[in-house]
Amino acid sequence: MAVMIDPEKSSLLRAAPRLMQILRVLTRHQFLGALRGKRHWPSPQEVRETFEELGLTFIKFGQVLAMRRDLLPDAYIDELELLHDQLPALGIDAVRATVEVELGAPLTEMFASFSEMPLAAATIAQVHEATMHDGRHVAVKVQRPCLEAMIATDIAALTYLVALGENLFPRLRALDLPVLVREFANSLNRETDFSREARSIVLFRTALADVPDLWIPDVVAACSSGAVLTMEFSAGERVDVYARLHPEAMPRLINTLVRLMLQTIFEEGLFHADPHPGNVLVLPDGRLSLLDFGMTGELDEPMRDSLTLLLEAVVKGDARAAKEAYLEMAPGSERVNRAALLLDIKAVLYEIHRSDLADVSIGDAFDSLLRAGSRNGVHNPGEFFLLTRAFVILESMIRQLDPDHNYMGSFREEISRLTAQHFSLERITDKTTKLARELERLMGDAPGDTRRVLRRFAEGNLGRLQAPAVEALGGRVSRNLERLTGAIAYAALVIGGAMLVLAPLPSWHHILGETMVIAGIFGTLLVCIGALRRDRGRR
């Protein structure tokens, strides 16, 4: 079953032995001396070796820290990125026991053949090649046993270490380390829940079904559970190996990589957070195959809208708009030094726009924004770190596959396609229908709701007002709300029409857009004239 970790419910007594072991390792590697200042920090290599010695949870924690360039110097980040997650393979008896407990049947009953040697063995799980009784070639991902107890103990130890450090050294509170530990625990929960990974695979297959040069292995649901995941076998070779043998195919494959990344982000709010060459294969027919959906990110619609505004502001060099869009992505931030943040963002955009466009990196731009935000009190959401990491890994892989490829050209081409799709008649009609329903509900509910609220005020803080006065006030407010909703509806027509006029669409879309704009302007004028006549009548 999937591992579920809650740092708030971790027991100090349960974690005490592990905590003492961790403290001994940290002391031996001179970590405790680092509390006296940066001059006493251990070397980057020693930090990496310490995490590897502490085992699975700390290797994963080091990989999370490698995404936080806003917290650590580059030398430490570069070293932490070298953390390997390869462990000795489990024996076939342990694998068989896990599969049979999870699937509720003997291994031989579920699979016609099952390779004893794993294809890969990592910290969380290992993958075995197998064949179903109906002849299907599959890959079986089996989780390591006893993960729940091990990870829960280590998370508890990390939680108490962070609390102790903040009590002894209050300046550490500015780093929000408890939040980092909680996000790390949530990340492990997601990564060790194979049922969630199976759902992610289904969502990605649906979202990318129209990408012709891509194939994602399907899940075999009957042979999958929270700790066992069976998928179709992908018989391809790593994309970096393929690139050395077939350099002429790289422009097409890179365009596919860019498309799948941007399309899933802006259309579905999903993204693969670990698109390194080991997770991207090329099939014999030349299609890409995307693997390992254990680390994925999700963006809700408001965050996607803010991300769109942020990208537009970065492209235009509008620091003020970039600041507002960035803060919308981190709504929980308090005590933000907005003036200093604006200056830092201006510096980031200046560096971007003084560079050659072909050398611009979206991942580096996001990383610079994260650093600027952390310096000025912004509590960056965990999904933004994952997204930044995904772009950094993708861009690094593209440079490795084809150093001369115009990555920003592929990016602009895909953004243009998504923009045209976003401003399609079907999309605008759908949004207009939703807006009309909301306005209809608002117009229907507003008068009654307003009267009820004002009546309650009249019985309390506004008790001096007579009931007729309150009712009259309620009537005026209701009429104003009705005029306001009408004005909003006409404004929506103007905005929707302007979108159609400006979008790169066929000419009949422009005619429809101009008609909507004229109707919206005419309706707005009627509302204004009606309001002026009523005001003149009251006077």
Q: Pick from 473, 521, 467, 525: which is nearest to 494 by CA? A: 521
pLDDT band of 462, cuts 50, 70, 90: very low
**Catalytic residue from among 213, 274, 292, 367:** 274
Residue 46 near residue 27, CB atoms below 8 Å? no
CA torsion 281-282-285-288 (nearest 10°) is 80
- The separation between CA 430 and the C-alpha centre of its own chain, rounded to angstroms, equals 25
Kindly state the average pLDDT of the residues 87-101.
89
Q: Which fold has domain 88-143+193-233?
A: Phosphorylase Kinase; domain 1 (3.30.200)
d(CA 73, CA 205): 38
Once rounded to an integer, what is the mean pLDDT over residues 436-460?
A: 60
Residue 38 has pLDDT above 60, yes or no: yes
Q: Collapsing DSSP states into helix, strand and coil, what is residue 231?
A: strand
Mean predicted confidence (pLDDT) in 450-465:
55
Least confident piece of the model among 101-105, 174-178, 220-224 = 174-178
Tell me the pLDDT of the chain averaged across its residues: 78
Confidence class of residue 485 from pLDDT cuts 50, 70 and 90? low
pLDDT value of position 385: 82
More reliable by pLDDT, 459 or 352? 352
Neighbour-count burial of 222, counting CB atoms closer than 10 A to its CB (0-12 exposed, 13-18 middle, 19+ buried): exposed
Q: Is the pLDDT of residue 233 over 90?
A: yes
Alpha carbon distances (Å) from 14 to 25, 160, 421, 466, 487: 19, 12, 54, 65, 62
Asked whether the predicted pLDDT for residue 465 surpasses 50, the reply is no
Mean pLDDT calculated for residue range 349-366: 78
What per-residue confidence (pLDDT) applies to 202? Answer: 92
Mean pLDDT across 379-408: 83
129: CB partners within 8 A, 6+ apart: 115, 119, 137, 138, 139, 140, 233
Dihedral (Cα; 533, 536, 537, 539), 10-degree rounding: 160
**Apex 465 CA angle, 460 and 469, nearest 5:** 125
- Range in 114-118, 155-159, 287-291 with the lowest mean pLDDT: 155-159
What does the block give as tokens for 432? Answer: 């207009």
Alpha-carbon span 363 to 390, nearest angstrom: 8
Q: How confident is the model at residue 469 (pLDDT cuts 50, 70, 90)?
A: very low
Pairing of strands 296-298, 270-272: antiparallel
Can you tell me the distance from the alpha carbon of 521 to that of 532, in angstroms, rounded to the nearest whole number?
17
CA atoms of 348 and 371, how far apart (whole Å): 10
Mean pLDDT along residues 39-52? 83
CA gap 65, 77 in Å, rounded: 7
Distance (Å, rounded) from C-alpha 489 to C-alpha 436?
Answer: 7
Q: Residue 284: beta bridge partners?
A: none
Please say if 85 is a catalytic residue. Answer: no
Cβ proximity of 99 and 107 under 8 Å: yes
Asked whether the beta carbons of 129 and 221 are under 8 A apart, the reply is no
Q: Where are the domains of the chain?
A: 7-85+149-190, 88-143+193-233, 236-419, 425-538
Q: Which contacts qualify for 45-51: CB closer than 8 Å, 24 or more apart?
A: 45/79, 47/76, 47/79, 47/80, 48/79, 48/80, 48/82, 48/83, 50/25, 50/26, 51/80, 51/83
- Predicted local confidence at residue 329, as pLDDT: 84
Share of the chain above pLDDT 70, in %: 69
How far out from the chain centre does Cα 345 lie? Answer: 22
Tell me how crowded residue 87 is: count the other CB atoms within 10 A of its CB: 15
Give helix 338-353 / helix 319-329 axis angle, nearest 10°. Answer: 120
